[in-house]
Amino acid sequence: MRSKMSIKFQSYHAMKIKVIANFLKQVNLNNLFKPLIFKTLNPNVNFLFYFTILYLIVLTGCQNKDFTSQIMAISEDEHSIKCELEVMKKEINKEWDTMNESLDDHLPADMAEQEKVNMLKVRNANLIRMFNTYKTLDTAIKDQLRSVEKKDSMMAIEINLLKEKLIEIENNKMELFDDILKENGQTAILELKEMYQKNLLKTCSSK
């Protein structure tokens, strides 16, 4: 009989601790309310009370750290892909710059100036072939154009794949932000968004 009463007594205090712990997660208690809590608890269970509070603090801290590492990992992925796109854009622009220089050197001297300007502005092989002057160009220039066209097409495929990855990253980021909002509130969201954007603004490492 004594044993059963002891179990009921412990269960009663355990229930009180659970209720108080849940309450503490919702509000910050000031010194005015702390004495009331300590009076409510039996001295024999103060240790359990402190242990519960410490556990909640550590648990919350771990969740915040976990969210931070997750969001920064996503930010790093986005930064990496954008750097890849930047490198690819520079590479293909360099190819077309070289191509246009070759065209400029081999265009007829009597070619109309406006037509020449228009042809050198174009960075599309099919459009360049539409100019009547293209037919008069030597084989080496035409082969060079085909080579650039092939590189441009292959790079376009890679760029589209990277852009699809960016869409996936954006979806993952928004889902994670929703989780953070539910768990830690608007303040945590603003802090992590600032960290996220700051990471994206890092200079891409040269390759």
Cβ neighbours of residue 100 closer than 8 Å, sequence gap 6 or more: 120, 123
Residue 184 is predicted with a pLDDT of 87
pLDDT of residue 30: 46
Output the pLDDT for position 2: 41
Whole-number Å distance between alpha carbons of 38 and 49: 9
**Do residues 84 and 169 touch, judged by C-beta distance below 8 A?**
no
Tokens 């001295």 label which residue? 43
HSE at residue 60, side-chain half, CA atoms within 13 A, is 16
Q: What is the model's pTM?
A: 0.63
The confidence score (pLDDT) of residue 155 equals 95
Looking at residue 14, what is its pLDDT?
46
Output the pLDDT for position 197.
94
Local structure of residue 185 (DSSP, 8 states): -
Distances (CA, A) of 157 to 114, 144, 151, 154: 33, 20, 10, 5
Any idea where the domains of the chain sit in the sequence?
1-62
Query: pLDDT at position 22, please?
Result: 54
Give the C-alpha distances (Å, rounded to integers) separating 98 from 88, 151, 165: 16, 13, 30
Low-confidence stretches of the chain (pLDDT < 50) are: 1-14, 16, 19, 21, 24, 27-33, 36-37, 61-64
Contact 46, 16 (CB under 8 A): no
Task: Write down the pLDDT at residue 7.
Answer: 40
Q: Give the pLDDT score at 11.
A: 46
